[in-house]
Amino acid sequence: MDFDLNDEQRLLKDSVDKLIATEYEFERRKRHAAEPDGWSRALWAKYADLGLLGLPFAEADGGFGGGPVETMIVLESFGRGLVLEPYFATVVLGGGLVRHGASAAQRAALVPRIADGSRLLAFAWMERQSRYNPADVKATARRDGGSWILNGEKSLVLHGDVADTILVTARISGDQRDRAGIGVFIVDASAPGVQRRGYPTQDGLRSAEITLADVRVDATDTLGEPGDALALVDRVTDEAIAGLCAESIGVMAAMHEITVEYLKTRQQFGRPIGDFQALQHRAVDMFVALEQARSMAIFATMMAGEADPAERRRAIAAAKVQIGRSGRKVGEEAIQLHGGIGMTMEYKVGHYFKRMTMIDRRFGDADLHLATLARMGGLFG
Amino acid sequence: MDLSFTPEERAFRDEARRFFRTEIPQAIRDKVAEGRHLSREDIVTSQRIMNARGWAVPHWPREWGGQDWSPIQTYFYQDEMQLASVPSPLPFNVSMVGPVIATFGNDAQKRAFLPQIANLDIWFCQGFSEPGSGSDLASLRTTAKRDGDHYVVNGQKTWTTLAQYADWIFCLVRTDMAAKKQEGISFLLIDMKSPGITVRPIQTIDGGREVNEVFLDEVRVPVANLVGQENKGWDYAKFLLGNERTGIARVGTSKERIRRIKQLAALELVGDTPLIEDAHFREKLAAVEVELKALELTQLRVVANERKLAKGKPDPASSILKIKGSEIQQATTELLMDVVGPYVTAYREEREEGWNEPPVGPDYAATAAPTYFNWRKISIYGGSNEIQRNIIAKAILGL
């Protein structure tokens, strides 16, 4: 048992932390957000140069062979910076589907382009009615000779506004919520029949509503088993949740540090407000919540590659519960302990709070995962 | 980064599991699992079996019976002990006074006390708290005045756990009335048979009588029973209180209680349906399990970090273990009451000799409420959770 990073991982962490500390200093982040895409293409090129975009892919496919720990390192750092670039959409979600669901030929076509930054991905699984259930799919895929014809509407597609390639779930057979009968299709964003409407999200990222009207894709442009791709989706979702847990640690740790620093500097009644025990204890409770979350983020990282899907889901669900609960506590307390300044858009802490709040709504909130875990019989004995 | 254990570590865990489950009498372990009170003999029996194997005082120096275990081995030792519902070796002996004597005592004291402390031939109780000195322990007022080769001790100690069984008491006493409050304190070993000692039980809200007041009236204590230097007792007390870094989380105890909650919740019917199948109940339980899993990993992180800290240097992160560990243990006692339901209301007075009358309701009902009431103490003792928060605020957050 070892909680330490190895030398290579430490090197990776140092370089990413350094880059983010500089490039995502709070005022600079505002400039990135003001760019046309809502994030920085120049930084994206830097991530490619540093090898971050190819990080989790196998070396044989043109990647760097990183595992869940490497992804955790990057995402925790990105959480500290509240990074805006579509790393999670392209590398974690899209890249996850490619790593686990693509054929050798598909990987040869996609991975080098993801790694060099020339191809952005998005994962379009959600629909208006589906909430957090990826099996609830109304969009259809109909076979037509050597093609699939896709129809339907996909919603809240993270970075779907800029993606070059959209990975879409659609139903080949079965009823609306059947686990069987779903395929994942590789759709070129510029294909005829693809319409998208981009918009900002609460946490400064971007999403899109996407309509597919008789969109034709080649019969081979599928990931995983057409008609049986939900296991692939679950696997990638679980990995992605582990990634969100890591990002959350960066977000929470930053909120906690900023808050403690504020307690030490803000003067009222002739002394730093951190002298007051009522506030000290609340800062400690934030710290305890953060450390409990950190433990579960590590657990999620270690279990993200677990072969048994039920054990993996149990662990990931437990981690998402802890992250959701700790995140809400740390976030709400960070705002409260700051007082009025915490309410303002111009000050950084509120942006962390908003990011944390939105993370709880990605791939199932704490309540949903608690229900899942409870149905599975919990964690012990 | 790797959460798996080495084959040697796993082998040690299996060995510990086998030992605790086969060598410690089932009747004693059942009492612990069911929340019943242990007799003095139960505690002595269990500790002597452990000591015969060299497992009563593994954290002591090797020459006095320690094992030089790695932090992981120590972790498995505690975890398996708790999972098997084995009573811990008497903490006042093995975690408190023993390490103090081993570290600060003279050779005569080590020879006279350590083997007997390890084997529970001598039972120690703890004379720290006083009526006016709880969290502000250094304000204690029990005095020890030098008279030839004796100290004459006067004062009152309280919350003295199991003083009714004790042969000796280790006491913090004030030896310099003029000094700053932390600087005039000494650490004395006092024979409970000394004239002038009176023990009066305090009944706690669960009905139990495990704590006492101890009155010391002109008690003559040989100067040879002073541990370390006069007026340095506060340092030894801090050492003692910081000595147990990780065991306080009692993760194994909570895991075992969750197992029991699930077992009993499968027996309790709500209408025709076992309580364990109720979604709301399961979610309440699962929420505690998540916190417990997180605590287990937090504890392992503290354990792993221990290897990097100087020996004997407390890690302020262990205060997290105290806070969360006590909250989770208390949450499990709440859940246990929820499982038992209306039959928690029937009160059965604690009697050491046991009971012959038939139980009211299921036989597992009687201890649920007392355990819940009794377990309120764990966020109070050993440095209250508010004191732990003060420690984190100061030592980690720099507030």
Q: What is the mean pLDDT of chain B?
A: 94
A318, A321, A380: residue with CB nearest B259: A380
Q: Is B289 on the interface with A (CB under 8 A)?
A: yes
Instruction: Let me know if residue B252 belongs to a domain.
Output: yes
Is B21 found in the same domain as B133? Answer: no
Domain ranges for chain A: 7-119, 122-228, 231-375
Q: Can you give the pLDDT at residue B352?
A: 62
Give the count of domains, chain B: 3
As a whole number, mean pLDDT of residues B331-343 equals: 97
| pLDDT at res. B356 | 74
Decide if B338 is inside a domain: yes
User: Which residues share a beta bridge with B127?
Assistant: B171
In a domain, B110, yes or no: no
What is the 8-class DSSP label of residue B213? E
Does residue A15 carry a pLDDT above 80? Answer: yes
* Residue B341: pLDDT over 90: yes
The strand pairing partners of A268, in sequence order, are: A271
pLDDT higher than 70, residue A53:
yes
Query: Which chain B residues are Cβ-neighbours of A280 within 8 angstroms?
Result: 389-390, 393, 397, 399
Which residue of A1, A371, A379 is in closest CB contact with B3? A1
Domain termination site, one of B208, B231, B254: B231
CATH for B184: 2.40.110.10
Q: How many Å lie between the alpha carbon of B1 and the closest alpha carbon of chain A? A: 5
| Residue in A with minimal Cα distance to B251 | A380
For residue B311, the model assigns a pLDDT of 64
Of A4, A288, A380, nearest to B289 by CB-CB distance is: A380
Q: Are residues B357 and B379 in the same domain?
A: yes
Separation in Å, CA of A334 to nearest CA in chain B: 15
Place of tokens 């710290």: A287
Classify residue B237: in a domain, yes or no: no
One domain for residues B172 and B198: yes
How confident is the model over A22-31, as a mean pLDDT? Answer: 97
Residue B4: pLDDT band (50, 70, 90) is confident
State residue B43's pLDDT score.
98
Mean pLDDT of A235-249: 98
| Closest alpha carbon to A88 in A244, A300, A282 | A244
Give which of B285, B290, B297, B335 to mutate to test A binding, by max A Cβ within 10 Å. Answer: B290
Question: What one-character-per-residue DSSP string does B295-318 give?
Answer: HHHHHHHHHHHHTTSPTT---TTH
- Please tell me the predicted confidence (pLDDT) of residue B232: 97
Task: List, as ranges, residues 308-337 from B with C-beta within 8 Å of A.
Answer: 317, 320, 323-324
Are B212 and B321 in a shared domain? Answer: no
- Residue A259: name the closest of A269, A249, A274 by CA: A274
Q: Let me know if residue B12 belongs to a domain.
A: yes
Q: Residues A270-324: pLDDT tens digits?
A: 999 999 999 999 999 999 999 999 999 999 999 999 999 999 999 999 999 999 9
Whether B201 and B329 share a structural domain: no
Is A231-375 in CATH node 3.90.1010.10? no
Indicate if the pLDDT at residue B351 is higher than 70: no
Which of A255, A265, A291 is best to mutate for the B interface (most B CBs within 10 A)? A291
User: B255 forms bridges with which residues in the sheet?
Assistant: none
From A26's Cα to the closest Cα of chain B, the distance in A is 23
> B257 and B222, same structural domain?
no
Residues of chain B positioned with their CB less than 8 A from the CB of A4: 1, 304
> Which residue segment(s) compose the domain that B59 sits in?
7-89
Asked if the model's pLDDT at residue A114 lies above 70, the reply is yes
Quick check: is B129 in a domain?
Answer: yes
Per-residue pLDDT at A106 exceeds 90: yes
Distance from CA of B173 to the nearest CA of A (A): 30
Q: What is the pLDDT of residues B20-58, one digit of tens each?
A: 999 999 999 999 999 999 999 999 999 999 999 999 999
A9, A373, A381 ranked by CB distance to B255: nearest: A381
pLDDT tens per residue across span B179-191: 999 999 999 999 9
- Identify the DSSP state of A173: S
- What is A7-119's CATH number, 3.90.650.10, 1.10.760.10, 1.10.540.10, 1.10.3720.10? 1.10.540.10
User: Cβ contacts (< 8 Å) between B295 and chain A: which residues?
Assistant: 292, 295
Which residues, 6+ apart, have CB-to-CB distance to B163 below 8 Å?
Answer: B125, B169, B192, B199, B211, B212, B214
B76 contacts B13 by C-beta, under 8 angstroms = yes
Check whether residue B205 and residue B254 sit in a common domain: no
Q: Categorize the per-residue pLDDT at B263 as very low, low, confident or very high, splitting at 50, 70 and 90.
A: very high
What pLDDT, in 10s, does the model give residues B98-153?
A: 999 999 999 999 999 999 999 999 999 999 999 999 999 999 999 999 999 999 99
How confident is residue B244, by pLDDT bands cut at 50, 70 and 90?
A: low
Q: Which positions ≥6 away from A311 have C-beta within 8 Å?
A: A303
Nearest CA in chain B to A6: B1
Q: How confident is the model at residue B242 (pLDDT cuts 50, 70, 90)?
A: confident
**Which of B245 and A129 is assigned the larger pLDDT?**
A129
The answer to whether B287 faces chain A, any CB pair under 8 Å, is yes
Overall fold of domain A122-228? Butyryl-CoA Dehydrogenase, subunit A; domain 2 (2.40.110)
Q: Does one domain contain both B214 and B258?
A: no
CA distance B12 to chain A (A): 14
Q: Which of B1, B296, B303 is nearest to A302 (CA)?
A: B1
Catalytic residue, chosen from B244, B256, B268, B306, is B244
Query: Which range is least confidently modeled, A165-169, A334-338, B354-358, B364-368?
Result: B354-358
Residues of chain A in contact with residue B283, where contact means CB-CB under 8 angstroms, are 370-371, 374
- The domain that holds B375 is classified in CATH as 1.20.140.10
Q: What is the DSSP string of A151-162?
A: EEEEEEEETTTT
In chain B, % of residues over pLDDT 70 = 96
Q: Is the pLDDT of residue B307 over 80?
A: no
B252 and B226 together in one domain: no
> Of the candidates B198, B231, B264, which is a domain's last residue?
B231
Distance from C-alpha of B34 to C-alpha of B251, rounded to nearest angstrom: 17
Residues in A closer than 8 angstroms to B285, CB to CB, are 374, 378
Say yes or no for a CB contact (<8 Å) between A4 and B289: no
Flag whether pLDDT at B297 surpasses 90.
Answer: yes
B318 and B364 belong to one structural domain: yes
**B209 shares a domain with B170:** yes
| Closest among B69, B77, B85, B72 to B34, alpha carbons compared | B85
Q: Which is more confident, B325 or B354?
A: B325
Q: Is residue B111 part of a domain?
A: no
Per the domain annotation, does B162 fall within a domain?
yes
pLDDT band at B1 (very low <50, low <70, confident <90, very high): confident
Instruction: Identify the band that residue B92 occupies on the pLDDT scale cut at 50, 70 and 90.
Output: very high
| pLDDT mean over A138-166 | 98
Mean pLDDT, residues B333-338 taken together: 97
Residue B244 is a catalytic residue: yes
Q: CA-nearest residue of chain A to B290?
A: A318
Indicate if B18 and B58 belong to the same structural domain.
Answer: yes
Strands (E), A159-254: 165-171, 182-188, 194-200, 206-218, 222-227
Closest-CA distance, A234 to chain B, in angstroms, reads 21
Domain end residue (candidates: B231, B262, B282): B231
Q: Judge: B393–A293 Cβ closer than 8 Å, yes or no.
A: no
pLDDT above 90: residue B354: no
Burial of B349: CB neighbours in 10 Å, binned 0-12, 13-18, 19+: exposed
User: In the prediction, which pLDDT does A104 show?
Assistant: 97
Which residues contact residue B22 at a Cβ distance below 8 angstroms, ignoring those fewer than 6 apart? none
